Chain A
Amino acid sequence: MRAIVLIVNRLIWFAPTVLGLMVITFTISHLIPADPVAFMAGENASNETIEALRHELGFDRPIYVQLYHYVVGVMNGEFGVSLYTRRPIVDDLFGRLPATLELTFVAVFVSVIIGIPLGVISAVYRNSLLDHVLRLITVSGLAIAAFWLAILFQLLFAMELGWTPLQGRVDGWGPDEVTGFFLIDAALMWDGAIFRDVVAHMMLPAITLAFPAMATIVRFTRAGVLDAINSNYVLYEQAMGFPRRVIIWKYVLRNALIGTVTQIGLIFGVLIANGVVVEAVFNWPGLGLYAVNSILQSDYNAIMGFTIVQGVIFIIVNLSVDIAHGFIDPREAR
């Protein structure tokens, strides 16, 4: 019951949060001293062209009028059109979103399935050589710049060893798009060759993106397990003769995971943001590059659309984290 109240509570806050996000982003993007109209009109445009365009786009109206029209548009499902291509922003965003989400999901998955067991091992063997080695790896994971790691991986695995593709999401144009998630689309086509190709292309970017996330998960899991392992209930369970495996993987880990799961929610947002660099190096056709270009070109509608979509994803992920907390720790759901 408490879980339902929690979800409803979060959903009630959803609209004001998105509205706040819109107002802040709109104001900032419109107050920076850039002139997207001059940029859009091109280097050779006359002033007359620029002013005509400015009027046509409504940028000569007061900013609050522009904001009002924008908010009304979004409420009607209209994100507007790109200032450059005149294509609907929705098409541009949702054409790229699956690429970014797929990479992020895989990176989170990789970081979790590697990070949590390593965190447990690190805690159980605390202060051993293994723990020190893992600490070294995790600190490196947090310290190494993603673009540097990405280039090293490219040079080693793609150029030197030839094990993986260098860049791109797939050779050629990929599977027939149904969901836009190539792993799913290739599976739906039942085409093993394309599926393998998609997985192979995903390995380097996903591992690059997962590395710092994994480091965070290892550190948080280690801290959580260490905290839990010293609890009285563990002593009690040991005294009762519970198998160690059950104590660690069922009781200790479950208690230790609260902090880790919170981190996974935050990591998801960070990975989408960090994806900009990884997408650039691996030529991954996702949202990151689109967002950067939109900002450089001051394509207001694109910036707004991107921010709102990111905000909504982040809110959904955090809602999922709250629900997951309820499952892991039933006290929260009560």
Chain B
Amino acid sequence: MKLIDSVIGAPVHRLARFAAVAVLAIGGMTEALGTAEAANKFVFANSSAYDSLDPHAVFDVGRVASRLNLYDGLMRWEDNPPQLQPWLAESYEISDDGLTYTFKLRDAKFHDGSPVEASDVVYSIERTLGMKKGAYGLFNASIEPGSTVATDSRTVAFRLNKPSAIFLATVPEIHVVNEELVRSHEVDGDWGEVWLSENDAGSGSFELKRYDPAIGFSATRFADHFMGWGDKYLDEIEFRTVVEINSRVLGLMNGDFQGTDGYLPQDQVKRLAASDTIYVQEQESMRIFYSIIQNARSPMNDINFRKALSYAFDYDGFINDILSGSVARDPVPLPNNIWGAPSGVEGYTYDLEKAKEHLALVKEPLREITLGALAGYGQTEQAAALLQNGLNKIGIKTKIVAEPWPVASGKMRDEQQMYDLLFLWKSTYYADPNNWVGEMYACDQVGQRNNSWYCNPEVDALLIEAQTSTDMDVRRANYEKAAVMVMEDAAGIFVYNTKWYGPFNNKVKGVRFSPIGNGQEMRWVYFEE
């Protein structure tokens, strides 16, 4: 052994010396560390990847930050419940026939200093229609390419091909880009999409400073923004993609980030709320959780079977036990807090006796039912398992199929491939009841945004009238009625409306939550110790 010691002694001692030096060096390094963020820079950790900054290519809630902070629309949704405010538009008029919307622009500048003109608005809507991406689906039915005109440099008129009561609600999604700048980067008629995916051609409150699709983007305050700035504001914002929840939470706690998304699991929200350096803002959002039922297929085409399904779901168990009461029960296909949502509706409860009664009335033979869930979204799988448990008790055999969103979204558009049921959310794209009940249950949306294949002529008549009428009382009454009728038809299993728990560092003030922006519009935010 002594011999062996002499053999390995020297290398091991060298190794030990190396290790000691390394430890000392590392110690030296860590002295220089800490949160090396600029004093007035806000870093937001987001779960989604910022794989494109093009405001006309991206239209999801997860990546809303680049649209809201780098770009302006004619109108903007603010606060909760969302209020539609003129933004780049100073004023607007609607013609008596409800077909022409004329907007007068404010005196505003793009980030390169050039003025925002009506022709830029025209180019922006043409670009949206031409690229057929992003918010295209909101406008393609009502606006023909080439129909929007700039009557002078500050006035733009949209001429709809049919009256649309929801048009104004969707105008915030027309993000105005600098026509001259984008055109100068167009290649082979690509609408400058490749260039704009990583550059900025906006007039928004912040201008792009740096972008890396693998990391995120940072932007500096645009001093010449048309809205001006008060005494308190941020000099720089940074939105970073951090996919791991734990890393977002720990990063917030140790000061790497000043804010993160408000849809964290409840255990993490509690963990953050208990921290001395974090506060959590709670708001009821507009994002409903429900199960689509394929209404056209047997036995779900029998209302009694659908009612049996609705009575077999343990709503209280799901909301209070599994989700710790962090969401609000919502029995209809509309968020509780939007106008047009019926009040005082009790909805279905977990009642296996009633489920059995309805099941006994089903004429078609029963079969195994496929319960769809979105892989990677634990809540959808938990809800499917809970329903499976309830259905098992009343003698309905089921199997759960959890598949990733690209697979599910493809199947949702095919009547044959669609699951018998599928649990998922419906988010806010524009704050109008049409965003939910209108799209989910209108007959002309079957196979597109109506993935239930539910078509009730009575409900449809209400929805059509609500979509075209300019009388708010008519619209409100129609949506209230339609929502209740869809619920009574048990066209889906309506579970809850989401609450938003936005965690921020204690020094962050001024966050304005709206279900469209999810607290990520940073022009209102400032730091105060």
Which residues of A are interface residues toward B (Cβ below 8 A)? 32-36, 38-50, 52-53, 81-82, 84-87, 92, 95-96, 99, 117, 120-121, 124-125, 151, 154-155, 158-159, 162-168, 171-173, 193, 196-197, 199-200, 203, 243-245, 247-249, 280-283, 285-286, 289-290, 293, 296-298
A-B contact count (CB 8 A): 197
Task: Indicate if the CB atoms of A249 and B11 lie closer than 8 Å.
Answer: yes
- B323 → A minimal CB distance (Å): 23
- A230 → B minimal CB distance (Å): 14
Interface centre among A120, A172, A298 (most CB of B within 10 A): A172
Task: Indicate if the CB atoms of A38 and B406 lie closer than 8 Å.
Answer: yes
Task: Indicate if the CB atoms of B242 and A245 lie closer than 8 Å.
Answer: no
Q: Which residues of B contact A203 (CB under 8 A)?
A: 26
Task: Indicate if the CB atoms of B26 and A200 lie closer than 8 Å.
Answer: yes
- B523 → A minimal CB distance (Å): 23
Docked pose: A297 CA to B251 CA in angstroms: 27
Q: Which residues of B contact A199 (CB under 8 A)?
A: 26, 29
- A232 → B minimal CB distance (Å): 19
6 nearest A-B pairs in the assembled complex, by CB-CB distance: A35-B410, A244-B7, A285-B214, A44-B137, A171-B36, A39-B406
A-B contact pairs, 17 of them (CB 8 A): A41-B137, A42-B137, A44-B138, A45-B136, A47-B413, A47-B447, A82-B51, A84-B52, A125-B4, A158-B254, A159-B254, A167-B250, A172-B36, A199-B29, A203-B26, A290-B214, A296-B404
Q: Which residues of A contact B36 (CB under 8 A)?
A: 171-172, 197
Task: Indicate if the CB atoms of B197 and A49 lie closer than 8 Å.
Answer: no
Q: Which residues of A contact B210 (CB under 8 A)?
A: 173
Asked if B39 is an interface residue, CB under 8 A from chain A, the answer is no
Task: Indicate if the CB atoms of B405 and A46 lie closer than 8 Å.
Answer: no
- A228 → B minimal CB distance (Å): 14
Q: Which residues of A contact B28 (CB under 8 A)?
A: 196
Which residues of B are interface residues toward A (Cβ below 8 A)? 3-4, 6-8, 10-12, 15, 26-30, 32-33, 35-37, 49, 51-52, 57, 59-60, 132-138, 140-141, 190, 193-194, 197-198, 210, 212-215, 218, 240-244, 246-247, 250-251, 253-254, 256, 376, 404-407, 409-413, 429, 439, 447-449
- Which residue of chain B lies nearest to A203 when distances are taken between CB atoms in the complex? B26
- A122 → B minimal CB distance (Å): 11
Task: Indicate if the CB atoms of A164 and B218 lie closer than 8 Å.
Answer: no
Given A84-B52, A124-B4, residue A39 in contact with residue B449 (CB < 8 A): no
Q: Which residues of A contact B26 (CB under 8 A)?
A: 163, 199-200, 203
- Give the contacting residue for B33; candidates A39, A96, A164, A280; CB below 8 A: A164
Q: Which residues of B contact A36 (CB under 8 A)?
A: 406
Task: Indicate if the CB atoms of B247 and A281 lie closer than 8 Å.
Answer: yes
Task: Indicate if the CB atoms of A289 and B33 lie closer than 8 Å.
Answer: no
Given A87-B197, A171-B36, residue A38 in contact with residue B250 (CB < 8 A): no
- Give the contacting residue for A297; candidates B52, B253, B406, B429; CB below 8 A: B406
Q: Which residues of B contact A289 (CB under 8 A)?
A: 49, 214, 243
Given A44-B429, A44-B449, residue A164 in contact with residue B413 (CB < 8 A): no
- Which residue of chain B lies nearest to A41 when distances are taken between CB atoms in the complex? B133
- Give the contacting residue for B194; candidates A41, A48, A86; CB below 8 A: A86
Q: Which residues of B contact A154 (CB under 8 A)?
A: 246-247, 250
- Give the contacting residue for B251; candidates A82, A155, A167, A286; CB below 8 A: A167
Q: Which residues of B contact A162 (CB under 8 A)?
A: 30
Task: Indicate if the CB atoms of A42 and B243 lie closer than 8 Å.
Answer: no
Q: Which residues of B contact A87 (CB under 8 A)?
A: 52, 194, 197-198, 213
Given A44-B59, A85-B213, residue A151 in contact with residue B33 (CB < 8 A): no
Docked pose: A53 CA to B254 CA in angstroms: 45
Task: Indicate if the CB atoms of B218 and A173 lie closer than 8 Å.
Answer: yes
Docked pose: A293 CA to B4 CA in angstroms: 52
Given A52-B132, A298-B406, residue A245 in contact with residue B413 (CB < 8 A): no
Docked pose: A32 CA to B375 CA in angstroms: 15
- Give the contacting residue for B212; candidates A48, A49, A173; CB below 8 A: A173
Task: Indicate if the CB atoms of B213 and A95 lie closer than 8 Å.
Answer: yes
Docked pose: A107 CA to B182 CA in angstroms: 43
Given A44-B59, A44-B429, A121-B12, residue A35 in contact with residue B409 (CB < 8 A): yes
Task: Indicate if the CB atoms of A34 and B404 lie closer than 8 Å.
Answer: yes
Docked pose: A206 CA to B214 CA in angstroms: 19
Task: Indicate if the CB atoms of B212 and A95 lie closer than 8 Å.
Answer: yes
Docked pose: A33 CA to B417 CA in angstroms: 11
- Which residue of chain A lies nearest to B407 when distances are taken between CB atoms in the complex? A34
Q: Which residues of A contact B244 (CB under 8 A)?
A: 280-281, 283
Task: Indicate if the CB atoms of B137 and A167 lie closer than 8 Å.
Answer: no
Docked pose: A168 CA to B256 CA in angstroms: 10
- A57 → B minimal CB distance (Å): 12
Task: Indicate if the CB atoms of A200 and B4 lie closer than 8 Å.
Answer: no
Q: Which residues of B contact A35 (CB under 8 A)?
A: 406-407, 409-410, 413
Q: Which residues of A contact B215 (CB under 8 A)?
A: 173, 285
Task: Indicate if the CB atoms of B242 and A167 lie closer than 8 Å.
Answer: yes
Task: Indicate if the CB atoms of A92 and B213 lie closer than 8 Å.
Answer: yes
- B441 → A minimal CB distance (Å): 15
Task: Indicate if the CB atoms of A47 and B30 lie closer than 8 Å.
Answer: no
- Give the contacting residue for A167; candidates B15, B32, B52, B247; CB below 8 A: B247
Q: Which residues of A contact B30 (CB under 8 A)?
A: 162-164, 200
Docked pose: A291 CA to B243 CA in angstroms: 13
Task: Indicate if the CB atoms of B197 and A96 lie closer than 8 Å.
Answer: no
- A309 → B minimal CB distance (Å): 15
Task: Indicate if the CB atoms of B132 and A53 lie closer than 8 Å.
Answer: yes
Task: Indicate if the CB atoms of A86 and B197 lie closer than 8 Å.
Answer: yes
Q: Which residues of B contact A45 (CB under 8 A)?
A: 136-137, 448
Given A87-B197, A280-B244, residue A42 in contact with residue B59 (CB < 8 A): yes
Q: Which residues of B contact A281 (CB under 8 A)?
A: 244, 246-247
Task: Indicate if the CB atoms of B136 and A49 lie closer than 8 Å.
Answer: yes
